[in-house]
Amino acid sequence: MKNNVAISVKNLTKRFKTGYGIENINFDVIYGKAFGYLGPNGSGKTTTIRVLLGFVRADKGQSTVLIDNIQNPDTSIKSLVSLDSWVDAKKIQRKLGYVPGEIALPESMLGIDLIRQVYNLRNQDNWDYVEELIHYWELDASVKIKKMSKGMKQKISLILAWMHKPDIFILDEPSTGLDPLMQDKFVKLVQKTKDEGKAIILSSHIFSEIEATCDYVAVIKKGVVISTIELKDIFYNSNKTYEIEFKKEYDFNETKLNKYNLVIQSKNKVFLSITNEQTNELIQALGDFDVSFMKEKPLKLQEYFMEHYENGQIQTENLKKQHKPGLKIGSTFELVRATARKYLILWAVMTAVALLIPILNITTLNNIGEDVDYRYTLLPVLEAPLGSPYLFLVLFIVFSGNSLFASEVEKGTLSNLLMSNQSRKKIFSIKIATYYGYITISVLVLYILTFSMVSASSKIVSINYKIFNLSFLGFYLLLIAIASICLITSCYFNKWVFSFSLSGALILTFYILAIITSLNSDPNKLQAIKSLNINSLFSFEEYLDPAKFGLSFEEAEKKFLIGCGVLFVIAASLTTGSYFIFIKKDLPL
């Protein structure tokens, strides 16, 4: 695949509300070569990279990645398949190695646990190679990430980028935080990777690093590429600069040397610039001087960068064992496990407290000397006064639901997940299944516990199991509808605090309005508020005791089922909307 195009960028444009991010970017990245991307912070380097990775959708232009379609190192260009950065983001992310400019790793994990988790998510089977990388970078992976230095975190990011042996690497400030010894190791690794025929994009502020690794560079300023050139054309260009020192002092303005581009340092030292064609002429001119020494000063990348960046004109130039995973597990299970573990403690605590309500209530009723109608066991469980199971389960829903996507986007860990062989669709599906699964388990356990205690009690009589079961179904749908509100705000916002504030305010408002309407003795009053409040779409008390509200059982049941249907539609609509928001959203830069 060597010398074939790996990445092709044509007229790429991405606008933001504050102005242009990038405008009409054009370049190709070649297999077997490293492409340097130079520019200060805010110039558009990271925007370009995120468009290439499918994290952000371009407004105009095209970026395609050409990857090997079969596992054969000797394949020709005919075997390469062209993938669009946005449409085929999942396939591209699976094949690329990526080091982000801002490292965002889950700080509660051990380094080795994170490496193992990504290894499992990618369904890899080359742990020996992963250990080679750990040893190459001299990383103590048994340390907790939050206790790691910047350099150690950078090493983990480099290991994650190289561990699945990708064909294309996108490296954004990859050696930040590394000491000089490790920077030298990085340069050697990049050179070895190029020799293997891999393609590399390297964005860096370290000019010596670019000079040591890259074959050609592009200079970007304010979202526009102002120059693209091969490094050999910088180092071996037609213009030469010489440092010349003389044994005597001269008035150089009165000599033959003044016709050249001359910078006088002192009366016996000058810097002189000529073209290749003027070399012999200069040697003859220097015959009239008593020269002490003469040394060529090759053009450096930094000098070239500063010259073109200051001019700012658009132009085109010539172009081991204790770390080894045990049983191999699937990436889907690994993602489920990681998501479930994140919310396990909060879920367990809130569910346990919620279960205390029916236990205390039914135990108290059993100690009463007379028989008790079963409805008095249901109301404290299903209604939403302060201290009911509803309140504790909603606390779990609000805190976990809002961090489901927004906090991961904010911290940058979602980008890492997308680069671990996971598509947006899969990430959304698994996280939602786990989130709704926790709620389902809580309600199911609450139902089984209440059902068992009610059925086993000799004091609780007149049990209508149809009403009992439908009441819990309504309770479950109410919680899922509330969860879907948190879900859509979490998908829409990129910051947890914004998502939490909006969904929390809505849910709290619904809760307060439900209490106000329940305290009103006239059921016809505040009807408009009831119809707009998901907590008041039906009343458990009205369904369990319709005569109290002047309704027949059939009327009460009909209202209850309609309310359940509306809740189902709300939950389904918001969940579907959340999916499309998440699938199409730009991840922040």
pLDDT tens digits, one per residue of 180-205: 899 999 999 999 999 999 999 998 87
Instruction: Give DSSP secondary structure letters for 465-500.
Output: HHHHHHHHHHHHHHHHHHHHHHHHHHHH-SSHHHHH
* pLDDT band of 529, cuts 50, 70, 90: low
5-231: what fold?
Answer: Rossmann fold (3.40.50)
Quick one: DSSP state of residue 290? -
- Asked which of 305-319, 430-444, 472-486 is least confident by mean pLDDT, the reply is 305-319
Domains in the chain: boundaries: 5-231, 238-298, 331-584
pLDDT, tens digit, for every residue of 41-89?
788 888 899 899 998 889 999 999 987 754 445 544 446 788 899 888 8
Q: At what angle do helices 465-492 and 496-519 cross, to 10 degrees?
A: 150
Average pLDDT over residues 295-314: 61
CA nearest to 157, candidates 222, 117, 205, 111 = 111
Give the class (CATH, top level) of 238-298.
alpha beta
Task: Please report, to the nearest 10 degrees, the dihedral formed by the alpha carbons of residues 213, 217, 219, 220 taken in order.
Answer: -90
Q: In angstroms, rounded to a whole number, what is the distance separating the alpha carbons of residues 408 and 414?
A: 5
Closest CA to 6 of 23, 22, 25, 30: 30
Average pLDDT over residues 244-264: 72
Distance in angstroms (rounded) separating the CA atoms of residues 419 and 90? 8
The region of weakest confidence among 326-340, 383-397, 477-491 is 326-340
Distance of CA 326 to the CA centre of its chain: 28
Instruction: Give the 3-state secondary structure of residue 568.
Output: helix
Q: Is pLDDT of 275 > 90?
A: no
DSSP string, 57-87: --SEEEEEEEEESSS-TT--GGGEEEEETTT
Residue 95's contacts (CB-CB under 8 Å, 6 or more residues apart) are: 65, 67, 166, 167, 168
| CB distance 491 to 585 below 8 Å | yes
pLDDT at residue 320 is higher than 50: no
Distance CA 375, CA 460 (A): 9
**Alpha-carbon distances of 199 from 167, 169, 191, 576, rounded to whole Å:** 6, 6, 11, 38
For residue 373, is pLDDT > 90?
Answer: no
Q: Hey, how many other C-beta atoms are within 10 angstroms of the C-beta on 299? A: 17
Q: What is the pLDDT of residues 7-49, one digit of tens each?
A: 999 999 998 876 668 999 999 999 999 999 988 778 888 889 9
